[in-house]
Structure 1
Amino acid sequence: MGQLLFLETMSQVDSPSLCPKNINFPQLWSELKPDVLKVISLEPISHKHWQYMFSDVYSICIAIPESLSDPLYRAVRACIDEHVQRLYKVISNVPRENLLKEYYNMWNTFYAGSLYLNDLFRYLNKQHVSNKLNVDAENLHQYSMFLPANDVKEIGCLALEIWKERLVTPILNSLVELLLKIIYDDRLGNPPECKNVISGVIHSFVQIERNDFSAQDGKREQTRMVRENSMEFYQKEFETMFLSATETFYAALAQKLLSEMTCSEYMEQVLHLLEQEEYRSQCYVHGTTMKKVAELCQKVMVDAHKDKLHAVCHDLITNEDKKDLHNMYRLLKPLPSGLSVMVKEFEEYVKKRGHEAIACLQYDNIPQQFVDNILTVYEKFNEMKTVVFMDDGEFVSGLDKALQTVVNARDPNGGVPKASERLSRYTDFLLRRTGKGLTDPELEKRLSNAIIIFKYIEDKDMFQKYYSKMLANRLIGGLSISMDYEESMINKLKQACGYEFTSKLSRMYTDVGLSQELSESFAKHLTEEKIAIPVQMTPMILQAGSWPLSPVSGNRATSTGGSFVAFNLPRVLQPCIQEFEKFYVQKHTGRKLTWLYNMSHGKNINIQELYICGDIRLNYLDKSYTITMSIHQMAILFCFEDKDTVMMNEIAEAVGLTGELLVKTMKTITEYQVPLLTSEGDINAANCPVSLNLSMTNKRLKFRLPGPQMSKATEKETEAVANTVAQDRKYYMECAIVRIMKTRKVMKHNALVTEVMEQTKSRFLPDVQFIKKNSEDLIEKLYIQRTDQNDEYQFLA
């Protein structure tokens, strides 16, 4: 009955006065006692009679000349005690086989009755019990020894306390024995007929310790879940023995199963038993016991025999037995460090398969094979990690470590790992316009797969060098399959490594767009100024700090115009260069242009008669051929404007190229499948004559001459990239150390090493010696110094 009932009661009784009055307690109690017994026995009581009872309790508590709360409390205690003793006499004569059911029925009645009784005596609880319990904290030490905490209780709690002492304690051993016997039979496959009786009896051990019957939010407490403030009785009198019986049962069963079953069968059976026991715990015991039961079963059936599971783990992983591995994972997962052996075996197996995959690479198209083989291993074991090991963090880490080891493995012959170079060449193959016939979804998927491998590469800065060089070649030569895909790949790299990693790549991409705008602006300028140039020019202005390009012999550096160095530009192109330089300087003062003729090519240049031309167009043969070629090749062909035969020394003087570059460039023209020029001797000789191939014929009217292949170009490129990366790493490391020391001022060596590794891991993984060497260099440069403390550095402002 809530507070609303109390107000209703006071407004509907025949004597609604709330004023204190004289009370004949013995007489009033003699009338009230039978009703109290009816309430606790759940016998029917009319609503009006309930209100009279409520009013009588109130009148007793506020009686004059003094409150009769204390006599009322003692009388209620005695009444409940007598009632419980009568119940005990009844249940003590019940046959053993009916004891649980009879106790369960008695308890349900008594517990519900105690809730109503607590409601009936709510004012007594508030006026008498609470006043005694809420003692002034400052004075508690003066008389706490005379007023034990259990001296008074709310009526509901008092009833449960009497029930525990007078009825439960005498029959407790019999109750617990019966409960354990029934649960034991259930585990053997003989479940009880009335599971609710077993659960109700067990939960009564928790409910009898309830010590708070106050209503919440105006709702009757019996409609809410029980709040347990103490589990001592339940844990001491039932849970301890229940857990002990559980341990004994499953320890013996585990030994029996192991002697009769294979490891695979044992794991399946244990999982089945664990599921059954979990369901049984949900049906019978309190929620706080469920976790203890699960841990106990894991302990005696799994942890005690985990060595036997570990012994077969290697074979299961090697055979890729997904079902048994999943069962083993489920069993070992709850144990502390239970998965460590499985993770180690999984990691080692992935390494083994990964090394086998890259060991069988054929010489033909190694980058493609490398990526495909690594992806095959990744996809296979990533699926196993997801399906078998449920994407567990330990196995995710194990897979990553294994693949990182495989991807960054060094060649058997030594040298730096090849992953960065191979992956960059693979992406170059995808993004280059080579007519692979891939659909957009296929290309997008392959680029995403490349990022998967990229994340495992340790030397990401080396990949950056290779990728930037190949990106430059694609952008300058117009060889990209799509500028949208170039941007997409750069964005994927940015997501993997951050803005700093791709800042130069993004700038390269941007420069191409800006160059197109500049070219259009230049063409408009020529039109407006009515300036005629012999060849249409499409300049590309590239920011020197972003592009992996450097001037070589045969290039021209100028700001407002200058002289040619080594390479002599064909006359037909000189007016174009001069006009563009004038235009550019007017728009951007103070900038320096360095012309990279070795990376330029001619396209659709028309020269009259014998004039060999560009894209270049040859008009002196029976057909008009259009050939795309480099500026160097074009310059050589321009030597034959007015001659059919020219000596090699004359070509060298006219063009300005010498040595290997001249010879290799000449061979691209003379040794092409349909040669444009023919030599009558060794072109390495200065007096070797070279003539036009006037009988040249080709089925294709438009084709491209290949560029010169310099000797050991790949080896030199790899060596150059390695040297550049080594220098870049030194600068990056020094900057990181200075940045950290500037912030921290003073640091121990080990702390500095840890933080430096954290900051540089997105680009490369430095070793401790490399960090130490750079720290020593910074000490010599007076950026930092050692302190008097051992292994400690101090920043110098």
Structure 2
Amino acid sequence: MAESTVLEYMRKVSSTLDVENSRVKNILELQSYQKYVFSIENVLIKDEQLYIESGFAQILDSYVIDDIKLCYLLLSRFPDSLVGIQSIFQTKVKEYGLSQLDGLTHSKDHPVESSVFVEKIFEIYNRFNNVFVDSFSYDPIFSKALDCACRDFINHNSISSNSSTKVSELLSKYIDSLLKKGSKIADESQSESKLNMSITILRYIEDRDAFQDFYRRNLARRLVNDQSSSFNSEQSMISKLKEICGFDFTNKLTRMFNDIDLNNDLNSLFNESSVPDKNIDFSAKILNTAAWPLSYSKSDLILPRNLTSVVDSYTQFYNSRHQGRVLNWLWQYSKLDIKFTPPQKGSQPSPTYIFTVSTSQYAILSLFDSSMQDVIAYSQISKATGLSNHAIDSSLAIFAKCKLIKIINDQNESSSSTSITQNSSFSINNDFRSKRLKINLNVPMKSESKKESVEALKYIQEDHNMTIQAAIVRIMKTQRSLKHNVLITEVISQLESRFSPKIPDIKRAIDSLLDREFIERDSTNFDIYKYVT
């Protein structure tokens, strides 16, 4: 049915009702007037409900708020008549959302940017939320329709089809970009508005456990690397998350901030009580293992001598104040600012550059400063630093890309090739020049970022498996005996507020608990499980 035809009919009905109301209101008694109006409405609206509904989808597409409101006002005279357009509205929101997200350019090699994905959801949500507010007047049944549709297209689209945690990952990355130094959004009120919208989207995400893990990891990086744009914004975000994610989650985040505050005092005391190397301005962050999602692995890194003395001094200082505690140094998260002044050429003084580097990068660069030779072989770097070939290659590739070092693949001349082999040698580029005086070389390689993402996903999956097993044990301990299908339904019901457990994962958890004799099968009916006391 053509939109204009239905729309014209609704306008005529509205006009007719207005005329009849004003005409008979003053000549009929109240009881008679109500019966008369009810009869007209039955004929013009109730009896033509299917006809009106037939054009409602096109009216929604036109996105004329007053036309949508007219349809709602007419049908709302019969409350049960709103069910039809409620269903159409829900379907339209879902279809529109899916088509918009599916239209975003993405591939395996070029995944969608978090800002593009999240802001497209903002756009879709705002479009239909305006309809809900202005046309449906906050009617609760349309609020429910909007919520259901948003939950569907946000969690189940082409971008998230291969991973149930993809939406959580993209949303956490987007929030990280808003809270990190260097954010393109300078207006604090605009940033706050985007954070509020992010919270709205989080309400619709099914796998909130995954979001919590990604958020903690991103927050940890911001705090460790001093990248938070504003502690007030960070604290405000934690307050917003508390309502959705609960106290246990936000309590861990608060403990992370407390550690940072304590470290400021601890570093001040260290600098006052010791006589550190005047060439090194040292500060440490002592982080509680239980609160921080940072992985520790024993490192073979051999620290430069000047850094070793400061680290030993700090370790002694800390142990004198906290006996029985063990410090595990996480060098992969540490960084340094080093100064480099190329040799002066001519009458103009050479500029001094400040490079931000990782500890492993500094271990390599310090060799050029301490060595009597101008050229250092790959084998010398490997022996002096204890780093793996992959770590050495990654660091040298970054130095070569910014032209801080020269790669020498031939003993007689510098090769123009940037290929690094174990037979290569390297020298500092004394002709180095850059328009920027402060340069960040502590950039994680794509392979390292991908590895961290894989580790996060592995941790999330393991956490889900343990949570499912715990839910099964709780249910069986209470019920003592349950059928297979009933148990699966109960597990899904208990965990759906945190994430949507998949049936194959629940079955694997049941098998694991059977093997470990937490539960057992009934001897007469294998479809029934019994709790083992």
Which bin holds the TM-score, normalised by the shorter protein? 0.7 to 0.9
The equivalent of 2:440 in structure 1 is: 704
Whether the 8 Å contact between 2:259 and 2:286 is mirrored in structure 1 is yes
* Structure 2 Cα separation of the partners of residues 327 and 699 of structure 1: 62
Structure 1 residues 360 and 314, CA, compared in 2 at 3 Å: closer, same or farther? closer
Residue type of the alignment partner of 1:679 = I
Instruction: Tell me, yes or no, if the aligned pair for 1:663 and 1:683 is still in contact at 8 Å.
Output: no
Matches within 5 A, 1:155-554: 262-269=8-15, 271-272=17-18, 283-285=29-31, 299-333=42-76, 335=78, 337-362=80-105, 366-411=113-158, 414-417=161-164, 418-434=166-182, 436=184, 438-526=186-274, 535-552=280-297
- Asked whether the equivalents of residues 534 and 572 of structure 1 are also in contact (C-alpha less than 8 Å), the reply is no
Quote the residue 1:589 is aligned against: 323
Give 1:747 shift.
4.9
Deviation at 1:444, TM superposition (A): 1.0
Aligned to 2:347: none
Amino acid at match of 2:438: K
CA distance in structure 1 between the aligned counterparts of 2:129 and 2:342, rounded to whole angstroms = 61
SS of the aligned residue for 1:602 comes to strand
Flag the 1:773–1:296 CA change in 2: closer, same or farther, 3 A.
farther
Structure ID, larger Rg: 1
In structure 2, relative to structure 1, the CA distance for the partners of 1:693 and 1:265 (3 Å cut) is closer
Cα deviation for residue 794 of structure 1 reads 4.2
Q: Deviations over 1:388-419 (max 9, x none)?
A: 11111221111112222222234369411532
Change (3 A) 1:404 1:274: farther
SS at match of 2:427: strand
SS where residue 593 of structure 1 aligns? coil
C-alpha spacing 1:575/1:731, structure 2 compared with 1 (3 Å): same
The amino acid across from 1:470 in the alignment is N
Q: Which residue of 1 aligns with 2:415?
A: none
Which residue does 1:601 correspond to in 2?
A: 335
Say which of 344, 354, 359 aligns to 1:626.
Answer: 354
Cα shift at 1:284? 3.2
CA distance in 1, matches of 2:456, 2:443: 21
Of residues 733, 753, 757 in structure 1, which corresponds to 2:492?
A: 757
Q: 1 CA distance for matches of 2:208 and 2:7?
A: 51
Cα distance in 1 between the residues matched to 2:36 and 2:320: 85
- Residues in 2 aligned to 1:340 and 1:663: alpha-carbon distance in whole angstroms: 64
1:390 alignment partner, SS class: coil
Q: Secondary structure of 1:285's partner?
A: helix
Q: 1:784 Cα deviation (Å)?
A: 3.2
Shift of 1:638: 1.1
Distance 1:385 1:662 in 2: 57
Letter in 2 for 1:383: N
Separation in 2, partners of 1:650, 1:358: 52
Question: SS of the counterpart of 1:589?
Answer: coil
Deviates more, 1:458-467 or 1:699-708: 699-708
Distance in 2 (CA, whole Å) between partners of 1:282 and 1:595 is 89
Match of 2:455 among 693, 701, 720: 720
State the secondary structure of the residue aligned to 2:47: helix
Query: Residues of 1 paired with 2:303 and 2:41: CA distance?
Result: 83
Could you tell me how far apart the structure 1 residues matched to 2:116 and 2:7 are? 45
The letter for the 1-side match of 2:353 is Y
CA contact (8 A) 2:484 2:529 kept: yes
Q: How does 1:725-736 map to 2 (within 5 A)?
A: 725-736=460-471
Structure-1 separation of matches of 2:216 and 2:375: 42
Contact kept, 8 Å, 1:508 with 1:547, in 2: the verdict is yes
User: Which residue in the other structure is 2:413 paired with?
Assistant: none
Q: 1:620 Cα deviation (Å)?
A: 5.2
Aligned mates of 1:756, 1:492 — CA distance in 2: 28
The answer as to 2:388 corresponding to 1:658 is: yes
Question: Is this contact kept in 2: 1:533–1:575, CA < 8 A?
Answer: no
SS at match of 1:458: coil
CA change 1:462–1:282 in 2 (3 A) is farther
**Counterparts of 2:48 and 2:342, CA distance in 1:** 88
2:412 is aligned to none
Identity among equivalent pairs (%): 29
| Partner deviation per Cα, 1:236-264 (whole Å, 9 max, x = no partner) | xxxxxxxxxxxxxxxxxxxxxxx999532
Q: Give the counterpart letter for 1:734 in structure 2.
A: Q
| Pairing partner for 1:670 from 361, 385, 400 | 400
Cα separation, partners in 2 of 1:646 and 1:442, compared to 1, 3 Å: same
CA deviation after TM superposition for structure 1 residue 275, in Å: 5.4
Instruction: Give the count of matched residue pairs.
Output: 508
CA RMSD, 1 decimal: 3.3
What SS does the aligned partner of 2:281 have?
coil
CA distance 1:320–1:439, shift in 2 (3 Å): closer
Cα displacement (A) at 1:655? 0.9
Unaligned regions of 5+ residues in structure 2, if any?
345-349, 410-417
1:311 deviates by 2.0
CA distance in 1, matches of 2:245, 2:217: 19
Note the alpha carbon deviations across 1:179-201, whole angstroms, 9 max, x for none: xxxxxxxxxxxxxxxxxxxxxxx
CA distance in 2, matches of 1:774, 1:260: 55
| TM, length-normalised to structure 1 | 0.58
Using the size of structure 2 for normalisation, the TM-score is: 0.85
Q: Quick one: distance in 1 between partners of 2:304 and 2:169?
A: 37
**1:279 to partner: Cα distance:** 5.5
Q: 1:533 to 1:744 in 2, by over 3 A?
A: farther
Q: Secondary structure at the match of 2:357?
A: strand
